Structure 1
Amino acid sequence: MENTFTAKQIAAAVGVNDRTIRTRANKDNWASVLKPGRGGQIPHYVFASLPSDIREALRNMESESGATVKGASAGRFVTNTQAIDREVALKTKQESLAEFAGINGKQRDRALAKFSIINGAKNYQRNTSTTKIIAFTQFCDLYNKQDPDVAQYQSEFNRTISLASLIRWEKALNKNGITALAGNYGKTKGNGIIDSTPELKEYCIALIHEYPHIKGERLADMLEAEFSEKYTIPAPSTCRAWLSSWKEQNQALYMSMFDPSAWQNKRMVAFGNMSIDVTRINQLWEFDSTPADVMLKDGRYSIVGVIDVFTRRVKLVLKPTSNAEGIALLIRHAILDWGLPEVARTDNGSDYLSHHISTVWNSLDIHNDITNPYSGWEKPFIERFFRTFSHGIAELIQGYIGHNVVDRERISSRLTFAEKLVERKEKGAERVGIDVSLTAEEFEAKMNQWVDGHYHNCTHSGIKCTPFEQYTRHKQSIRRVSSERVLDVLLSPVPGNGFRTVTKSNGISIEGGSYIHAELGAYIGDRVFCRWNPQDVGKIFVFHALHGHFICEAVNPEIAGQDITMAHAMEAKKIQRAQLTEQRRHFKSLAKKHDVSDAAQTYLDYRTNQNSALEAFPKASTTVETSATKGAESAIDNQVESGYSQERLSEFEQRRKQLQAIHDLENSSSEPVFNNDHHKARYLTERQLQAPLSVNEAAWLTQYRREHTAAARLLDQLIKPAAQTK
């Protein structure tokens, strides 16, 4: 008889399940013979009629299992059926064990409970030395009675067991491995109305994307409105179950849409050490700003901070808002204390990208590394410090308002109902149960005291020592600026873009206050540029507006509690006179060196010589004759023809002079000489009472009265009595 193989043996050789083999055999009509076996007649497929790939797989399996070929006929051999069965069982159990590693939850617990019961029954059989059926029957009775001898095998998943169940479990374990004991729970997942209808599923996912808070009832309503005429719409309870299942299976995706911050904190990959390449002091500084979790008397302030990544040293300033002036002040403090950094890492906020801060980086040759938008993980060290601060000392300070809305509501709940009613009557009153008693200066002092006294002396998990130890034990040359004046570019300018004009009486005026210094005496009338002294509002740093050099540190005497004495004024005058004297001496030396006494004639001679060679070409011309020109020519001709003698002409000239003298005498004015315009106005006012004035005189008097209304009224009062008398 020809060699034959069962579907199970072929499946083990090919690496698929026996059902796949049977399906293929029926489809391709493999030749087979029926042989008795467990469960009745079992098809055995003839080796010679099998496809080439199946025959090759069986040959390979035979060679691996050590089975021998019987008979001398080519292509015919006898297989060791028991070896193949063992190979199949072993391979199935190995696959089952690998699959079991991925099972969790109740399925895993259920499989382990059944496995424990089977082992307990086998142990009982060995101990009693009875047949399997008798031993398993007695074990089931003891188990169901909760006998202490089998108490260790008791399970919440199997309160009672039967002999049939125990035998079935053992058979499944031997045939398909431990995974078969987990049962078929959850096998129908993904076969519901929504999952089995791609269009419904895609629509539901689109709704979740746009509305992460959507509930099962609304989901059912939207499905009904969109697909009621096309598909069977699931009930609201089904939508709720599907929604819960989808969120469970897509936790990371749902959290990234619903709460991106929580996703970054809990699920975003954070492998490795971002400071692994930072090996030097001041190699990398990270800057950031955060609202303080403390309410102060004048409102809620923002904390602007910087951290040196290598040493983990921190420096903070407190400002009403995070702006360029506050950041520049922090940079100034940090550079004076720590030295110059190589790289400053900031976010892309408008305060950090302002022209003021950009000028600072460029002026001090510091590379500004700007992180991507909404990427706080790119500067993790300053972010982590702010969390340490807010969850540390901030929670113990008066005015603490919580880290989030939930904390704030819990703090607010401390108030009684009566207290809340009273506070609501006060417009703008704080409605949480907090003690707002600290000023900004007091909170900033506590903040810096905590950093210097506590944080810098606590062991940091990242560097395995304190920031102070990390700084002191590292031997490195620190880059520093040559003078504090170099950092004046970081100070905040005074209001009005910082420019002022120095006046002789008030010096520099800022917001109603006067700032003076003796050195300003040399700059009266000049434009200067002023910056605040961050440590003392009563002082300003003054720079030349054009040349940019430092002039002085002017003081407001009222704020500083000083008086302007004559000594200050005399010193300013002395400096002013000394500067003017020096400037005049320089001017005189230049005047002696260059003779400019006749500059106008020098320039005219220069222009004459420059243009002397220029001459225009002659133009064509015509003679114009009119009656007037002809009469003039005739008179000239007659004069020439008359031929008066020189004596006669002398008589004519003498007579002409006499007539001119008579004319001048007749036209000479008898108007008196006036001391001033008022004297003349009074004279003309009195004269017009006797005779009319000339046109010029009347016009002058009218203009005078219009421009001097008070004087006109006085003239009217003086002249009026005289006019009435006449």
Structure 2
Amino acid sequence: MKRWMTIAEIAEAKLPGLPASPRGVAKRAQAEGWAKRSTQARKRQGRGGGLEFSIELLPEDARTELIRREVDPGAPVNVITLREDDPLTGAERDRRDARLHVLAAFEEFRSANGLSVSDAAIMFPDAWRSELIEAPIDVRSQIPSVSTRTLYEWRTIRRRDGDDALGMDRRGRPAKLETAADGEVVNALLGAIAKQSFLSAQQLGDYLRDRFGEALPEITERTIQRTRARFEAEHRNALMAIRDPDRFRSTIEHSATNATFAAGLNDLWQFDASPADIMLAGKRRHSIYLAIDIWSRRVMVLVTQAPRAEAVAMLLRACILAWGVPRRVKTDNGSDFKARAICRLLAALDIEHELSAPYEPKSKGHVERAIGTFQRDLATCPGFIGHSVADRKVIENRKAFSKRLGMSDADLFDVQMDLPEFQKWCNDWAEKVYAHRPHSGLKGKMTPFMRAASWLGDIRRLAHPQALDILLAPIAGKDGVRRVVKQGIKIDGEYYQTSAAPVGQDVLVRMDPTDLGRAIVFSLDGETYLGDAICPHLAGADPVAVTMQVKAAQKALLKEETDKIRAEMRKIKPRDFSDALQRQGEKRGANLAFIERPAQPFTTPALEAAREAAEGAKAAPAAPYDPVVVQTQLAEVVRMPAPRRPIQQDKMQDQFRRAIDLEEAIAAGDPISEADAAWLKSYQQHPDYRGAKRIFEIHGRRMFG
């Protein structure tokens, strides 16, 4: 068999998939541009000229038939098994032996047909693929097909690196990235593609070369691409957990079925919010709040312009009035669900509030799934904008660019419904569509309506539904706590007069939604109604009349309280406190006794001297009567101090005269008592003394009598 054939020879062979006439083959060659392929067309040698074409240009069926007719497959090649004391793994040995078998079969094929290497490399792949060449099953399973380029590469690798190199990888090179830098290159590559998945092979190569330097062998971009593709497949789950945690949780992470338990109807409700995939009149995208009863799977939907605590309260009110009072409510950690007003409302209704773990939507999977079902059903509504940017682009592309150019969003998405219409659609969807749709999570695939109707237990209902509206009334300010002052309760710069609580007491205030001038006053815990507070000019009432009423009520309340106190005061006698003190002291000490401990003698030098003086005074005998001694004692004259003028403390002059007399006595050397000396020293520090002293120095004693 030969590789090159003319148009006539091809037509004469009558191959499948080709015309049977030279004219037809020529037209086919001209249409497919055979002559323009320089490596597969050449000038015919010999007489006549013209071109001849390589059989590569023929269709696959034609090549296979031509080879089947004219090719000698050669003698079967024996199974090749090399030594096992090599550095290869079992899989690499099988790959090496299979490739060596193919190369041996190639050489036998070339020799049997007398072909050059290049011609044999063109024909052998078709002969191998069509199984004209016999080969063991394990070899053919390893290599079901082979290309001309692969044959050249295997021959080169074997000649350059030896037989074992054929088992390393597809190109005969060892896995350079896996073994470089003790495996650190693999970790670095995984970290890089996890950090930035949009890096190209060239950028990854630059990063690895810059980081590892000479420790990184020479690698091509194609090697990086193949290694990256393999790592992406092998570490798919780990990379997804890092790159796209939400997708990982929804598609890979294990989730238990029916893990949320509800003991019965209204045992557990779940709430959540989401932007609605629909545009309403006014070019605004609204949000929806959805509540679901876990036991029955029935739902209720509320539409709001933006997520807020007031919407949560309104949805809770609608559910309570329609379904009853739940025992537990579970929400996420959004500010609208954790608002003080919501927490206070749930506490007032004795409803346990459970919060899901942050960033764990699966902990409230029932409401998440219900919202997903609701969003998918929105595709039937006018104004649907799609669930994602890609969906929105598809919807936009429904209209030609020339038509949608300059169109508003309302025209582009066929917006027709406003908020009240959409709310009615949501109510109908919950009551007529979802309520009667079989649910896979319910036994026997019951519908939520049937499940709720099957409940035979008790349902907690409000005895006074109108009281719920009072609890839902907006609070004053941020927390509703206000202090009663003399003028009343100050709210938004206005004073609301009240006698519901005494001045100085903190109260909880709710505003009457139907009357701007009325506030409702409760105790701080919200469990006791105290009364109303009225702002006269906002309520349209007479300020004087309101003030008089408040004063009268305050006076009556105060009189009642003071009368009780005064009655108790009259029961108390003057000596009751002191007698009670003594009686309680006697009672406390009645059962107690002091036990004297052994004494340790104690003395000091001073005590010893005093003891000796006391003993000496007792022991000294009385002196005998001696007239001479008595006469001598009588003769001694004791000079007594002159009598002083009686002290009059009523006037400043008297005090100053006393001070002058004492100073003169001291100057004359006369003795004065210690009391007079102490008084004089104190008085001399007084401003009265200093002022009188200056007058005395100028005018003398006559000014003081």
Task: Name the counterpart of 2:198.
Answer: 213
Task: Answer whether contact 2:383 2:414 (CA < 8 A) is retained.
Answer: yes
Q: Would the aligned equivalents of 1:323 and 1:351 in 2 still touch at CA under 8 Å?
A: yes
The correspondence of residues 292-311 of structure 1 with structure 2, limited to 5 A, is: 292-296=276-280, 297=282, 299-311=284-296
| 1:542 maps onto 2:525 in alignment | no
**Among residues 599, 615, 621, which one is paired with 2:679 in the alignment?**
621
Counterpart contact for 1:360–1:489, Cα < 8 Å: yes
The answer to whether structure 1 residue 193 and structure 2 residue 169 are counterparts is no
The change in CA–CA distance for 1:593 and 1:465 in structure 2 (over 3 A counts) is closer
Which residue of 2 is the match for residue 371 of structure 1?
356
Whether the aligned pair in 1 keeps the contact of 2:523 and 2:529 (CA below 8 Å) is no
SS at match of 1:621: helix
Alpha carbons of 1:581 and 1:470: their partners in 2 closer, same or farther (altered >3 Å)?
A: same
Alpha-carbon offset, residue 628 of structure 1: 4.7
Kindly indicate whether residue 434 of structure 2 is the aligned counterpart of residue 455 of structure 1.
yes
Query: C-alpha offsets along residues 455-487 of structure 1, whole Å, 9 cap, x if unaligned?
Result: 112221211211121111111112344444267
* Distance of 1:252 and 1:292 partners within structure 2: 31
SS at match of 1:422: coil
2:131 aligns to what? Answer: 161
The question of whether the paired residues in 2 share the 8 Å contact of 1:194 and 1:201 is answered with yes
The alpha-carbon distance between structure 1 residues 344 and 587, as it changes in their structure 2 partners (threshold 3 A), is closer
Q: Quote the offset at 1:370 in angstroms.
A: 2.3
CA deviation string 1:114-157 (max 9, x = no partner): xxxxxxxxxxxxxxxxxxxxxxxxxxxxxxxxxxxxxxxxxx99
Q: 1:588 to 1:342 in 2, by over 3 A?
A: closer
2:355 counterpart letter in structure 1: I
Aligned to 1:316: 301
Which segments of 5 or more consecutive residues in structure 1 lack a partner in the other structure?
A: 1-18, 25-95, 100-106, 108-155, 173-179, 424-428, 597-617, 638-726
Q: Percent identity?
A: 23
- Compared CA separation, residues 395 and 627, structure 1 to 2 (3 A): closer
Kindly tell me: are residues 210 and 588 of structure 1, through their superposed partners in 2, closer, same or farther at Cα, counting changes over 3 Å? closer
Deviation at 1:627, TM superposition (A): 7.5
In the alignment, structure 2 segments of 5+ residues that lack a partner are 1-80, 96-125, 145-166, 568-674, 684-688
| TM-score, length of structure 2 as denominator length | 0.51
**Among candidates 421, 424, 428, match of residue 442 of structure 1:** 421
CA shift for structure 1 position 288: 1.3
Question: How big is the shift at 1:194?
Answer: 1.9
**What one-letter code is carried by the residue in structure 1 that aligns with 2:279?**
M
Residue 232 of structure 2 aligns to a residue whose secondary structure is helix
Contact preservation (8 Å) 1:542, 1:551: no
Secondary structure class of the residue paired with 1:248: helix
* Aligned CA distance change for structure 1 residues 529 and 360 (closer, same or farther; 3 Å): closer
Secondary structure, aligned partner of 2:679? coil
CA distance in 2, matches of 1:397, 1:490: 33
CA contact (8 A) 2:208 2:216 kept: no
Which one-letter code corresponds to 1:188 in the other structure?
A: D
Distance in 2, Cα, partners of 1:346 & 1:588: 50
Query: Is the CA contact 2:499–2:553 (under 8 Å) kept in the aligned structure 1?
Result: no
Deviation at 1:366?
Answer: 3.1
> Which among 347, 350, 369 is matched to residue 384 of structure 1?
369
Query: Does structure 2 retain, via aligned residues, the 8 Å contact 1:540–1:553?
Result: no
Per-residue CA deviation, residues 384-414 of structure 1 (Å, 9 max, x unaligned), is 000100001x112232211111112222334
Q: Following the alignment from structure 1 to structure 2, what is the Cα–Cα distance between the partners of residues 271 and 157?
A: 55
- Alignment partner for residue 264 of structure 2, among 267, 270, 280? 280
Shift of 1:378: 1.3
Report the more deviating stretch, 544-553 or 379-388. 544-553
Aligned match of 2:240: 255
Shift, 1:521, TM fit: 9.2
After superposition, the C-alpha distances for 1:168-210 in whole angstroms (9 at most, x for unaligned) are 44xx6xxxxxxx7632689837943223432332221121121
CA contact (8 A) 1:499 1:545 kept: no
* Corresponding residue SS for 1:269: coil
Structure 1 residue identity aligned to 2:679: S
Aligned residue runs from structure 1 range 547-626, under 5 A: 550=529, 620-622=678-680, 626=693
Q: For 1:366 and 1:524, locate their aligned partners in 2 and report how far apart those are by CA, in whole Å.
A: 29
> How many Å apart are 1:359 and its aligned residue?
3.2
> In the alignment, which residue of structure 2 is the partner of 1:118?
none
CA contact (8 A) 2:522 2:530 kept: no
Contact 1:412 1:432 in 2 (8 A): no
1:568-619 deviation digits (Å, cap 9, x = unpaired):
969x9999877766665676788899999xxxxxxxxxxxxxxxxxxxxx99
Given the superposition, is the C-alpha separation of residues 551 and 592 from structure 1 closer, same or farther in structure 2, using an over 3 Å criterion? Answer: closer
Q: Which residue of 2 aligns with 1:669?
A: none
Determine the structure 1 residue equivalent to 2:141. 182
C-alpha contact (below 8 Å) 1:289/1:302 kept by paired residues: yes
CA distance in 2, matches of 1:525, 1:437: 56
Q: 1:325, 1:491 within 8 Å by CA — same for their partners in 2?
A: no
Q: Tell me if the contact between 1:414 and 1:433 (Cα under 8 Å) persists in the aligned partners.
A: no
Preserved CA contact (<8 Å) 1:328 1:490: yes
After superposition, residues 121-160 of structure 1 pair within 5 angstroms as: 160=130
Candidates 392, 395, 401, aligned match of 2:379: 395
- For the residues of structure 2 that align with 1:418 and 1:406, how far apart are their CA atoms? 20
Whole-Å separation in 2 of the counterparts to 1:590 and 1:509? 28
Distance of aligned partners of 1:329 and 1:511 in 2 relative to their CA distance in 1, 3 Å threshold: farther
Q: Structure 1 residues 482 and 158 mapped into 2: Cα distance closer, same or farther (>3 Å)?
A: farther
Contact 1:285 1:343 in 2 (8 A): yes
Query: Using the alignment, how far apart are the partners of 2:223 and 2:83 within structure 1?
Result: 38
Kindly tell me: are residues 537 and 245 of structure 1, through their superposed partners in 2, closer, same or farther at Cα, counting changes over 3 Å?
farther
Match among 413, 418, 428 for residue 397 of structure 2: 413
> Secondary structure of the equivalent of 2:223?
helix
Q: Secondary structure at the match of 2:369?
A: helix
CA distance in 2, matches of 1:181, 1:293: 55
Out of 450, 459, 475, the position equivalent to 1:493 is 475
Provide the C-alpha distance between the structure 2 equivalents of 1:163 and 1:262, rounded to a whole number of angstroms.
49
User: Matched residues in 1 for 2:533 and 2:415: separation?
Assistant: 36
User: Quick one: distance in 1 between partners of 2:522 and 2:416?
Assistant: 43
Q: What CA distance in whole angstroms lies between the structure 1 residues aligned with 2:507 and 2:482?
A: 5
Hey, what's the Cα distance between the residues in 2 that align with 1:523 and 1:341? 33
- Counterpart selection for 2:316 from 310, 314, 331: 331
CA contact (8 A) 1:542 1:550 kept: no
Q: In structure 2, do the counterparts of structure 1 residues 244 and 627 end up closer, same or farther at CA, with 3 Å as the change threshold?
A: closer
State the distance in 2 between where 1:340 and 1:381 align: 19
Aligned mates of 1:524, 1:225 — CA distance in 2: 76
Q: What is the aligned length?
A: 444
SS of aligned partner of 2:191: helix
Report deviation, 1:229: 3.6
Structure 1 residues 217, 586: closer, same or farther in 2, change over 3 A?
A: closer
Cα shift at 1:382:
0.3
Cα 1:495/1:400, change in 2 over 3 Å: farther
**What's the offset of the Cα at 1:349?**
2.7
**Please, which of 473, 476, 483 is the counterpart of residue 454 of structure 2?**
473
Q: CA RMSD in A?
A: 5.4
State the alpha-carbon separation in 1 of the partners of residues 334 and 295 from structure 2. 24
Deviation of 1:314 after TM superposition, in Å, equals 1.2
Which residue does 1:27 correspond to in 2? none
Query: Aligned equivalents of 1:632 and 1:469: distance in 2?
Result: 120
- Aligned CA distance change for structure 1 residues 582 and 433 (closer, same or farther; 3 Å): closer
Using a 3 Å threshold, how does the CA distance of structure 1 residues 21 and 196 change in structure 2: closer, same or farther? closer
